[in-house]
Chains A and B, each alone.
Chain A
Amino acid sequence: MSTIAPEFRLSRFIASLVDIIFWILLIFTIVGLPIVFIMLFYIKLPVINGQLLTPYLALTWLADPSRTIPIIKSFIHSTFFRVAVFPGFGFAALLAAATIFVERKFLAKMQLRVGPLYCGKIEGILQLMGDGLKLMSKEIIIPAKADKPIFWIGPLLFVGTAGAFVSLIPVAPGWVVANPNVGLLAVFATIGFFPIIVVLSAWAANSKWTFIGGLRALHQMISFEIPLILSLLSIVILSGTLNLSQIVESQKHYWWIVFTPISAIVFFITIIAELERIPFDLPEAESEIVAGWLTEFSGMMYGLIQLGTYLKLYAFAGLFTVLFLGGWNGPMVWPPFPTDIITNGITIGPITAKFPGLPLFDQEMLNGTLWFVIKTVGVILVILLPRGVFPRIRIDMLLHTGWYKWIGLAFVNIFIALGLLYAGVLGPGGLIQ
């Protein structure tokens, strides 16, 4: 049992919830309903289609699926839904939150620990919610001689840039927030903003730990950005386009990782370095420089940076899936929507409900999303894995491998790709289409 709250019993908690609900219902019946009726007595109700719109009629219309499903469907195809919910922020934040919890449990199991256990009764599944509430209720402390404008805006810019990166990742055919023709270049431009934000917020905190961490982050990100960009050029050469959706479509029959394994390895290691994860977590090395460039952030500012970091992790894993693992391509395993529901509706006893406008999502989109999520979660797990295995490396070894070895290795696959292209094996008009 938890030692923090030894008197806690789940049954008492549920009993108190039931108690609160009982009192709310009682007070609403005695006080709320008369007020509603008095208001209805004085308000002149509108007449629609020759019918007086009483609240009962309004609720009946709201519950009628033939009237609400088209509204939901048009909302699903709006830009706001794309930005806020499905391929955009909501979906990515959900995956990022799941990643935080899975990382803690996964590392614990690797090291024969138990990980989060008490919060939420079942293997600690409510730990993340508890952490979020804790971060929101914590005080935001700003160091006395900090540069306040930059210090305040740093976490917001970090989350904003990570969100911009997420918006470029195509999830299913046609389901992407922003689909520019120069998508891969837009990804490079977005990645270039991270070191600026990191070093500015590290400088603004006016602490030696943050400054050392910020300079380390700057060194590391700049030296690994070049092999990152070079390793993706072989994909551009093979697929002949910079648009990420078209790159996915070009992998209909085989994944590019088959022809560019060296690029995939270089890209994978550079994304671990860009994400500042072990073994490249020098900017946040907690045993050397407290928490690196995150030292002075507290409360929800730290929470925002953490959210941005995991959004970035999802975006990089999604980019790996899109470029090397075929994105949403995969065998059609999602069952088709049952046609008799569309034609006949659902019959429950004497009532038959018809649902015009179903299905909400087409089969290809659901299947593509399924495959994309499976591959991305696999890549995320492989990114999490080194944290339980490897020690941290030294900064000079990191810079040496970054500037000498990875850049050299990144060129190898470009020449292989060019060779395949000029030999007429791949590319437009090649032997394998």
Chain B
Amino acid sequence: MVDSIFLALSVLTIGSAIVALEIRSLIYGSIGLMLTLSGIAGFFLLLDAPFVAMFQLSVYVGSIAVLILFTVMLVRRELIFNKIEDSRRRYAGIGLMIIMMLGIGTIIIGSGLKSMETDTASVDYKKIGEDFLTYYSPALIVMALILASAVIGALALARREDVTSDQRAD
């Protein structure tokens, strides 16, 4: 049962990733990306981590994929994409991917990680919170600083001084 679900999820994830890369229509490409990210959420559910799976769904599918859709719909694609049709690049990419997959595959098979345990209890999110506030607190602080600086940077970039707010009357 678990193996068949794993296989179905793998086919879904990899297939929609290929669709996201290869299809001509940008909208269908972003739908493929959404399916890929949902498939990864399914992997997290399979690994007994519903907390991470729900965050994967609400952050990646609910926010990032929506932002990509937004961008695709609002920007005319001739302005941002130059068509580069080069079959040699594609073959080089496929070759590079096969080499990487073989390398990672040999490492994983060599590590002895061959089977999935299905009867373990799901990870408690309270334990994750405790670990974050005790052992991993430096990582939490660094993450918070990075996010805060990103938000401040985004605000500084988005700020426009030439526009006066006389249109808004609230």
Which A residues fall within an 8 A CB radius of B?
A: 147, 150, 180-182, 185-186, 188-189, 191-193, 195-196, 199-200, 203, 211, 215, 218, 222, 225, 242, 396-397, 400
* Distance (whole angstroms) from the CB of B144 to the closest CB of chain A: 16
B168, A400: Cβ atoms under 8 Å? yes
A199, B69: Cβ atoms under 8 Å? yes
A222 to B58: give the CA distance in the assembly, Å.
12
A189, B62: Cβ atoms under 8 Å? yes
Which B residues fall within an 8 A CB radius of A?
A: 27, 31, 34, 50-51, 54-55, 57-58, 61-63, 65-66, 69-70, 73-74, 122, 124-125, 167-168, 170
Most buried by A among B50, B55, B66: B66
* Distance (whole angstroms) from the CB of A173 to the closest CB of chain B: 23
Contacts of A203 in B (CB 8 A): 27, 73
A196, B61: Cβ atoms under 8 Å? yes
* Distance (whole angstroms) from the CB of B67 to the closest CB of chain A: 8
B58, A192: Cβ atoms under 8 Å? yes
CB-nearest residue of chain A to B73: A203
Secondary structure class of chain A's binding surface, majority of residues: helix
* Distance (whole angstroms) from the CB of B35 to the closest CB of chain A: 11
CB-nearest residue of chain B to A194: B62
* Distance (whole angstroms) from the CB of A283 to the closest CB of chain B: 15
Contacts of B58 in A (CB 8 A): 185, 188-189, 192
Contacts of B66 in A (CB 8 A): 192, 195-196, 199, 218, 222
A192, B50: Cβ atoms under 8 Å? no
Contacts of B51 in A (CB 8 A): 182, 185
CB-nearest residue of chain A to B57: A189
Contacts of B31 in A (CB 8 A): 150, 200
B54, A193: Cβ atoms under 8 Å? no
A193 to B35: give the CA distance in the assembly, Å.
12
Contacts of A195 in B (CB 8 A): 62, 66
Contacts of A180 in B (CB 8 A): 50
Choose one: B54, B125, B168; the contact of A188 (CB below 8 Å).
B54
Please list 18 pairs of residues, one from A and one from B, whose beta carbons are closer than 8 Å in the complex, sorted by A's number: A150-B31, A180-B50, A181-B50, A181-B122, A181-B125, A186-B54, A191-B62, A196-B61, A196-B65, A199-B70, A200-B69, A211-B73, A215-B74, A218-B66, A218-B69, A222-B63, A222-B66, A242-B125
* Distance (whole angstroms) from the CB of A326 to the closest CB of chain B: 24
* Distance (whole angstroms) from the CB of B32 to the closest CB of chain A: 13
Contacts of A193 in B (CB 8 A): 61-62
Contacts of A188 in B (CB 8 A): 54, 58, 62
CB-nearest residue of chain B to A242: B125
Known: A188-B54, A199-B73, A200-B27. A396 touches B167 (CB 8 A): yes
Contacts of A192 in B (CB 8 A): 57-58, 61-63, 66
Instruction: Please name the 5 residue pairs, one residue from A and one from B, whose CB atoms are nearest each other, closest first.
Output: A192-B62, A189-B57, A185-B54, A189-B58, A188-B58
CB-nearest residue of chain A to B56: A189
Contacts of A400 in B (CB 8 A): 168, 170
* Distance (whole angstroms) from the CB of A165 to the closest CB of chain B: 13
Contacts of B57 in A (CB 8 A): 189, 192
Choose one: A181, A191, A196, A225; the contact of B69 (CB below 8 Å).
A196
* Distance (whole angstroms) from the CB of A98 to the closest CB of chain B: 30
Contacts of B122 in A (CB 8 A): 181
A196 to B70: give the CA distance in the assembly, Å.
10
B170, A397: Cβ atoms under 8 Å? yes
Most buried by B among A182, A186, A199, A242: A182
Contacts of B50 in A (CB 8 A): 180-182
Known: A196-B34, A200-B69, A215-B73. A185 touches B55 (CB 8 A): yes
* Distance (whole angstroms) from the CB of B86 to the closest CB of chain A: 29
A193 to B122: give the CA distance in the assembly, Å.
25
* Distance (whole angstroms) from the CB of B91 to the closest CB of chain A: 31
* Distance (whole angstroms) from the CB of A269 to the closest CB of chain B: 16
Contacts of B34 in A (CB 8 A): 196
Most buried by B among A180, A189, A191: A189
Known: A189-B62, A192-B63, A203-B27. A218 touches B125 (CB 8 A): no
* Distance (whole angstroms) from the CB of B109 to the closest CB of chain A: 33
* Distance (whole angstroms) from the CB of A85 to the closest CB of chain B: 26
* Distance (whole angstroms) from the CB of B139 to the closest CB of chain A: 21
Most buried by A among B34, B62, B65, B69: B62
Taking A185-B54, A215-B74, A242-B125 as given, write out 5 further A-B residue pairs in contact, using a Cβ cutoff of 8 Å, ordered by the A residue number. Answer: A150-B27, A150-B31, A180-B50, A181-B50, A182-B125
A197 to B51: give the CA distance in the assembly, Å.
24
B54, A218: Cβ atoms under 8 Å? no
CB-nearest residue of chain A to B49: A182
A340 to B85: give the CA distance in the assembly, Å.
84
A186 to B168: give the CA distance in the assembly, Å.
37
A215 to B168: give the CA distance in the assembly, Å.
20
A186 to B41: give the CA distance in the assembly, Å.
12
* Distance (whole angstroms) from the CB of B47 to the closest CB of chain A: 14
* Distance (whole angstroms) from the CB of A233 to the closest CB of chain B: 13
Choose one: B54, B73, B167, B168; the contact of A189 (CB below 8 Å).
B54
Contacts of A397 in B (CB 8 A): 168, 170
* Distance (whole angstroms) from the CB of A393 to the closest CB of chain B: 9
A181 to B55: give the CA distance in the assembly, Å.
14
Contacts of A182 in B (CB 8 A): 50-51, 54, 125
A48 to B118: give the CA distance in the assembly, Å.
45
* Distance (whole angstroms) from the CB of A353 to the closest CB of chain B: 46
